[in-house]
Structure 1
């Protein structure tokens, strides 16, 4: 009996989200590397704009704040104390 390849909608949903985040992060990294205005860092501006876009699209202030706080709480564990990826 051959194994059928079935796509899982939950996996597809997660893959779409991860792909969007990876693309966004890569774009920001490129902008950071080629920033003609070093006194205007890209990341803070992007995160402020992201928050306003999320709010404009119906996320609550509480959801946005919680998302950023949860992400910041995970950062030390993910980075294992390193400031930048070696």
Structure 2
């Protein structure tokens, strides 16, 4: 389709991450239990990544790299808007 806008790969990645993060925030807010909901979501994500055939090496490396980049993005602020 010539009129269809082609979104670059990077844009698709950020959009999917944004949608997932919004849903995580909703689930976090709706949590009726005392368990730690974000930890549960991330653990389930890790399991699903493994089910999608990402390796036991690639999954923790991706998490570790993302965590290492967090100070640059967050610029010393504990949480966005707070």
Pairwise TM-score range, normalised by the shorter structure: 0.7 to 0.9
Please state how far the C-alpha of 1:6 moved relative to its aligned partner.
Answer: 8.7
CA RMSD of aligned residues (A): 2.1
Please state how far the C-alpha of 1:63 moved relative to its aligned partner.
Answer: 0.5
Is 1:24 matched up with 2:26? no
Of the three residues 50, 65, 68, the one matched with 1:55 is 50
Of the three residues 25, 32, 35, the one matched with 1:36 is 32
The TM-score with structure 2 as length reference comes to 0.83
How far apart, in 1, do the equivalents of 2:19 and 2:47 lie? Answer: 19
How far apart, in 1, do the equivalents of 2:27 and 2:4 lie? Answer: 38
How far apart, in 1, do the equivalents of 2:6 and 2:26 lie? Answer: 33
Q: How many residues align?
A: 80
Gaps of 5+ in 1: none
Gaps of 5+ in 2: none
How far apart, in 2, do the equivalents of 1:32 and 1:6 lie? Answer: 35
Please state how far the C-alpha of 1:16 moved relative to its aligned partner.
Answer: 2.1
- Runs of 4 or more above 4 Å deviation: 5-9
